[in-house]
Chains A and B, each alone.
Chain A
């Protein structure tokens, strides 16, 4: 393989930069995302913050291709996502969507979509999320935190280069939160770009390298985490950090 091809192959496994080019999305006549533009170049964890109904989940769904922008484009390495690019992504939903199967079968379903993986690898993955002893249990009988951990494990089966998480730790107990945060930190160091939504400012302080703050569908701030918490670019963001309600 020539050097040029080698470089190209390596670049193919990198979804960065992720660029929103004046992206708008509306539904039933309501503009939910309003001309949002930013360019993500950093690896590591990006946190999306904003009040309820700000459009955070839609922003993530647009990135993952679950919703299509009415205006503008979402680009990965300068191109609109095709199936190949989407295969390099995985998403964990706010409400865990689990198949009506056992815990291990939820993982093997995804594993078999790509290339059949050894069941021992899947069990190791379950062990990482603390569910190895529940592998034969119906997934729907797991607790909320366990369901979310299983969803995360399932997302990791695909070995994604971009991991999108929509409030993965909302209403979870501290143990589950810590376990998920540990896993995210681990995968960050495995060159997985992570973008996640949270309302937990302390969690954002702990994990984020940069912050996207949106309000009423508009991008209000996009800053490194330290700068954002010290002096956010937007008054709305400042109000949000200081705990004042914004509507």
Chain B
């Protein structure tokens, strides 16, 4: 019990004192996760919109594959990215293994299916609701997609935040392709795993507290955004 309380006190001290090692890990985590999230939104959202409004032969298969990929184990993604980026792999010449870029790629592969599959469902619902109106008004596909995204913005924001949660809390894939190298690819989740195994509970706890705070902050932001849009803007 003494060890537990001491670890907590030290953990809070590390946070309050602005421990440089701790905050280096936090900033790298956020940077990697936000970058992967941005890339995933750029790819996943148009892909979701495309799947929502276009009918083609393999559509149901593509959607099924995307749904299945949402639950893909991160270590499998890590392994696949590792095989591609390793020196003997097809993309080995890029020398990306054990870099933050490799971690971003791995996280994107985990987040893109979430954003694409869930946004496809939301936009498809809106598309079936608006379709007659938009056809009646001769609305172009581009303008229709913009309208769908705008009108479903709160639901889509929730999806994006779920994607961020998946990215920042992920440990298996980033530890395989990032290598958990100190001052280079060590992020919160891999650091927590490492420091716990080393018995350095205070740093692990400090990182855990920050991770929880980020998760809580993201959810509060989502709830606030929903309130702001639905009530203050009154739409």
Contacts and interface: CB of A to CB of B under 8 A. Distances in A.
Interface of A: 64-66, 83, 86-87, 89-91, 93, 97, 99-102, 105, 109-110, 113, 136-138, 158
B234 A113 contact: no
A99 B147 contact: yes
B136 A90 contact: yes
A104 B166 CA distance: 38
- Nearest first, the 8 A-B pairs at minimum CB distance are A97-B133, A100-B151, A91-B136, A101-B235, A102-B235, A138-B235, A136-B234, A66-B135
B101 to A, nearest CB: 39
Contacts of A65: 135
Nearest to A64: B136
Contacts of A93: 132-133, 136
Contacts of B151: 99-101
A152 to B, nearest CB: 13
Interface string B152-192: 10000000000000000000000000000000000000000
Interface stretch (B9-17, B75-83, B137-145, B213-221): B137-145
10 contacts: A66-B136, A86-B138, A87-B138, A89-B136, A90-B136, A90-B137, A100-B235, A113-B138, A113-B143, A138-B235
Interface in B77-129: 129
B130 interface: yes
A212 B66 CA distance: 50
Given A136-B234, A137-B234, A138-B235, A97 B138 contact: no
Given A64-B136, A91-B136, A99-B130, A109 B147 contact: yes
Nearest to B140: A113
Contacts, number: 42
A245 B135 CA distance: 35
Contacts of B136: 64, 66, 89-91, 93
A124 B139 CA distance: 24
B147 A102 contact: no
B137 A110 contact: yes
- Most A CB contacts (10 A, CB to CB) among B129, B133, B143, B147 go to B133
A83 B139 CA distance: 11
B132 A97 contact: yes
Contacts of A66: 132, 135-136
A64 B134 CA distance: 12
Nearest to B126: A100
A91 B151 CA distance: 22
Given A64-B136, A91-B136, A138 B234 contact: yes
B95 to A, nearest CB: 48
A101 B147 CA distance: 10
Contacts of A87: 138
A82 B79 CA distance: 54
B138 A83 contact: yes
Contacts of B233: 102
A102 B234 contact: yes
A22 B139 CA distance: 30
A90 B138 CA distance: 10
A83 B138 CA distance: 8
A86 B151 CA distance: 25
